[in-house]
Structure 1
Amino acid sequence: MGSLQLKSVRKSFGPVDVLKGIDLDVKDGEFVIFVGPSGCGKSTLLRIIAGLDDATSGNILIDGSEVSAVPPAKRGIAMVFQSYALYPHLSVKDNMGLGLKQAGAPKAEIEARTKKASSMLSLENYLARRPAELSGGQRQRVAIGRAIVREPKLFLFDEPLSNLDAALRVNTRLEIARLHRELKATMIYVTHDQVEAMTLADKIVVLDGGVIQQVGSPMELYNRPANLFVAGFIGSPAMNFIDASRLGRSDATTIGVRPEHMALSRESGEWTGRVVHVEHLGADTIVYLDSEKAGLLTVRLFGEHHYEPDEIVHATANAGQLHRFGDDGKMIR
């Protein structure tokens, strides 16, 4: 079992409130990802769950038991850090088994768990090597293996892929997804990368300013963002926001439309604008245009399209894909 409950968790550093009352339920076996901009409180919240920081107030329950006063080693959690945190003088095998050795586990048990974890992570051929002899991706796999051998109730990941290059990030992301399916373990993962969040999570928790803005599945957040912040944070390129009064609409304060839900034409369309810049990405073409009526717009087109800076074009939004937001920034249902 590995359920987690957070009840009114607050954290202050002097007069600064970093977390302003976090309530969250994580079910056993869920993959939950915390996302948000720098300083939103996501890493602080993870450290409080791990016991590395104390909450100012509130309750933390793992499998229904209050753990706020329980030291990190007794909480049944294992944490994977951004920096790997491997001992350079120890082999891969010894790094992976060190936590069990320090806990007094029998040698045969350490051997069996290390063997199982190294097989899951394709590290069997590297067990005798030291961290300096490994690539960044291999070191991160060792750090994940060190967590697996402990068979924790909760796996906590603190931006584990941020030190890897783009190709390694993709490969390691796939490995983490596979491990979640195989282990059926509860995983809580912090990242600022929304692609990681959208591709890995069962449930995403969007934080800003120490407050949960929305909790939901990746597609719930994409299709039904609760407010302007979530709408602008989830999705790449970001959603276009248009002052509704400029469009002559009185049913909302702001109209949102995602770049991929717009079409371009040289003949006619809803909003006329001048092309400012074009990004050719191969699979996609991103066109930025300055429209007098709607302001700066971003349009994402599938495939290769040829538009030139200063060209006059016409953009049209898919009427069924418009999002309406009120004065308070919340989505109008």
Structure 2
Amino acid sequence: MGSLQLQSVRKSFGPVDVLKGIDLDVEDGEFVIFVGPSGCGKSTLLRIIAGLEDTTSGSIRIDGAEVSAVPPARRGIAMVFQSYALYPHLTVKDNMGLGLKQAGTAKAVIEERVRKASAMLSLEKYLDRRPAELSGGQRQRVAIGRAIVREPKLFLFDEPLSNLDAALRVHMRLEIARLHRELKATMIYVTHDQVEAMTLADKIVVLDGGVIQQVGSPMELYNRPANLFVAGFIGSPAMNFVEAARLGDGGAKTLGIRPEHIALSRESGEWEGKVIHVEHLGADTIVYLESDRVGLLTVRLFGEHHYAPGDTVHATPAAGQVHRFGADGRAIH
């Protein structure tokens, strides 16, 4: 139905190597998210899968069939972009059905698919409206509906929520997760937002510098990062890093401790420090402190805690929660 295999996929723009040999298997029905910083190659990789960019070398297979030379319209994919790309003069109904109409699909089939998609996306009341009469979230649902009616083998999403405000992003994440469960479709999704990646994905692909750094479930990446880059990229607030030599660990170069795995006390603990800033978030309190022994630390405490800049505190890492990394940046297990 919708499996994908990438083998040694490379992409260069002149002398610049954007993708440096990507190998990846996506199973039928999986929700896979490409995540990484700007310029890591994630959007280029998605466009190569869609056929909007050619590979420099390598193989792309969808359901076992080589598609590297197949035009986008014949790959069995549907793409949802960051921009909604709706025709302003067409109604919601006509925007959703336009691709099928252009492909010569029977009118009755178009109407039935649009009806089903609009019901899934709660768009029935808006079918006769034009895009200018819709909110940003409604327009994005129309763009998703346009993809659904094509019944593709692969759904490709390119940062689809980045134009929405925070509340709408949360709502649309729930909508997309529900759609994935209902459609049981293969979805590949690009984002720079690790919260989207952690909350939506069956499998996350972390890219940096055109190379896959790690592939795994959200909690695999969170609990067992393969290297310093993944450890620092996944998780918010970010993992603390300490020079291992400061703590007498000669077998590692760097130690990593997540902010929620550090306890604070006013009386005693392993590392004494001074509070330099506090963020009161209601459910959490984020405390930043400077310690002579380990440097700057970020500590995440659950609930409300009354620390203030200038307070002397003692930080203690949780037993078994310290990550060790070698001189090459790779995790030591």
Which residue number corresponds to residue 171 of structure 1? Answer: 171
Give the secondary-structure state (helix, strand or coil) at the position aligned to 1:277: strand
Which residue number corresponds to residue 259 of structure 2? Answer: 259
Gaps of 5+ in 1: none
Q: Tell me the alpha carbon deviations over residues 98-133 of structure 1, each in whole angstroms, 9 at most, x when there is no partner.
A: 000000000000000000000000000000000000
Alpha-carbon separation, structure 2, partners of 1:270 and 1:86: 58
Alpha-carbon separation, structure 1, partners of 2:24 and 2:249: 37
Alpha-carbon separation, structure 1, partners of 2:252 and 2:260: 22
Alpha-carbon separation, structure 1, partners of 2:240 and 2:166: 27
Alpha-carbon separation, structure 1, partners of 2:272 and 2:56: 53
Number of aligned residue pairs: give it.
Answer: 333
Which residue number corresponds to residue 215 of structure 1? Answer: 215
Q: What amino acid maps onto 1:303 in structure 2?
A: G
Which residue number corresponds to residue 243 of structure 1? Answer: 243
Segments of 4+ moved more than 4 angstroms = none
Which residue number corresponds to residue 40 of structure 2? Answer: 40
Give the secondary-structure state (helix, strand or coil) at the position aligned to 2:331: coil
Which residue number corresponds to residue 27 of structure 1? Answer: 27
Which residue number corresponds to residue 327 of structure 1? Answer: 327
Give the secondary-structure state (helix, strand or coil) at the position aligned to 1:274: strand
Q: For residue 248 of structure 1, report the CA deviation from its aligned partner.
A: 1.3
Residues 1:135 and 2:129 aligned together? no
Q: What amino acid maps onto 1:238 in structure 2?
A: A
Residues 1:201 and 2:201 aligned together? yes
Which residue number corresponds to residue 72 of structure 1? Answer: 72
Alpha-carbon separation, structure 1, partners of 2:188 and 2:308: 45
Give the secondary-structure state (helix, strand or coil) at the position aligned to 1:230: helix
Alpha-carbon separation, structure 2, partners of 1:186 and 1:317: 40
Which residue number corresponds to residue 297 of structure 2? Answer: 297
Alpha-carbon separation, structure 2, partners of 1:265 and 1:185: 49
Aligned Cα root-mean-square deviation (Å)? 0.4
Alpha-carbon separation, structure 1, partners of 2:57 and 2:249: 45
Which residue number corresponds to residue 269 of structure 2? Answer: 269
Q: For residue 28 of structure 1, report the CA deviation from its aligned partner.
A: 0.2
What TM-score do the two structures reach when normalised by structure 2?
1.00
Gaps of 5+ in 2: none
* 1:67-216 equivalence runs, <5 A: 67-216=67-216
Alpha-carbon separation, structure 2, partners of 1:308 and 1:178: 42
Which residue number corresponds to residue 16 of structure 2? Answer: 16
Which residue number corresponds to residue 229 of structure 1? Answer: 229
Q: For residue 251 of structure 1, report the CA deviation from its aligned partner.
A: 2.1
Q: What amino acid maps onto 2:157 in structure 1?
A: F
Alpha-carbon separation, structure 1, partners of 2:164 and 2:304: 29
